[in-house]
Amino acid sequence: MSTKALPPFKVFSGTNSRYMAEEICKELGVELGQMNIQHFADGEFEVSFEESIRGHEVYLVQSTFPNSDNLMELLLMIDAAKRASARSVIAVMPYFGWARQDRKDKPRVSIAAKLVANLLTAAGVNRVITMDLHADQIQGFFDVPVDHLYGSSVFIPYIQSLKLEDMVIATPDVGGAKRANNYAKYLNVPLVLCHKQRAKANVVATMTVIGDVKDKNVILVDDMVDTAGTITKAADLMLSEGAKSVRALASHAIMSDPASQRVNESGLTEMIFTNSIPFNKDCKKVTVLSVARMFADTIRRVHEYQSISSQYLIK
């Protein structure tokens, strides 16, 4: 189906995701839409579209990190687009914040991922395009379609380009076992697990390796790295167990302090991220891979009512 026969679409960006939106627009061959975000002295801000979007399909590119301001900005963008008579509003969220709070794992806690889904729906979003949610079931929190993409589409080719011998795939905790197992199956290499116990949030008490890493080149797979305590502890543990080298890959580079220092001081050979979150820390071991082409292709396919399943190497 030709895009000329379809109603037009436009791409806009929030403040902190402009770099991603510009890359996506370059891949799509379109101009980034004009928006104005005015900040007031008390921290409140106002969002306005500086061009007509009446009858258009509107794509709003915004990762919600840092979480609160960027989420509120996205909600205001959605509301403004609906009030400006956009035909449909699609939130493009390379990083979906609050995803770690996806269930009640103890009494009297919120399920923030569900709340965020409700807020986006209440604001008027018609569709969400995101990548590597912390838990797949978060898609079910939405009452609108969710296109869930996977960073494996850029990670797998990069791993293969390294041409590592005696490679094993590992996960820094059992929660990521399914994700790591999919990598191991696709690459036809063994899987190793780490079992960790936390003293409290962001603090690992103990960790043990389940599997053989002696004389192996290890690839640790995770969805995000926050303070890097788990990933660096796992890397150092595997090196102590006789691993030749340890690399780590994760879709979302949250990298809260002192993450960069921990990665630099660890035994990790390389830390590989996507650019779902802008990475501007001083960490010489970090490699950043762009997912802009993947999102651009998904936008094109959604707009043309085409299947996006070809985007998935593995899930």
Active site members: 196
Cβ neighbourhood burial of 214 (10 Å; 0-12, 13-18, 19+): exposed
Residue for token digits 């915004």? 62
Stretch (H or E) spanning 195: strand 191-200
Task: Give the count of beta carbons closer than 10 Å to the beta carbon of residue 204.
Answer: 20
Task: Please answer whether residues 150 and 131 qualify as being in contact, where contact means their C-beta atoms are separated by less than 8 angstroms.
Answer: yes
- CA-wise closest residue to 165 among 227, 218, 113, 105: 218
**Residues 195, 212, 204, CA angle at the centre, nearest 5°?**
25
Contacts of 219 (CB under 8 A, 6+ apart): 159, 164, 167, 168, 169, 170, 183, 247, 248, 249
Dist. CA 71–CA 45, nearest whole Å? 12
In a 13 Å sphere around the CA of 109, the CA atoms on its Cβ side amount to 11
Contacts of 297 (CB under 8 A, 6+ apart): 27, 308, 311
Rounded to an integer, what is the distance from CA 140 to the centroid of its chain?
18
> 180-190 burial string, b = 16+ CB within 10 Å, else e?
bbbbbebbebe
Query: Residue 251: what residue type?
Result: S
Task: Give the count of beta carbons closer than 10 Å to the beta carbon of residue 163.
Answer: 7
Q: Residue 8: is the preceding peptide bond cis (ω within 30°)?
A: no
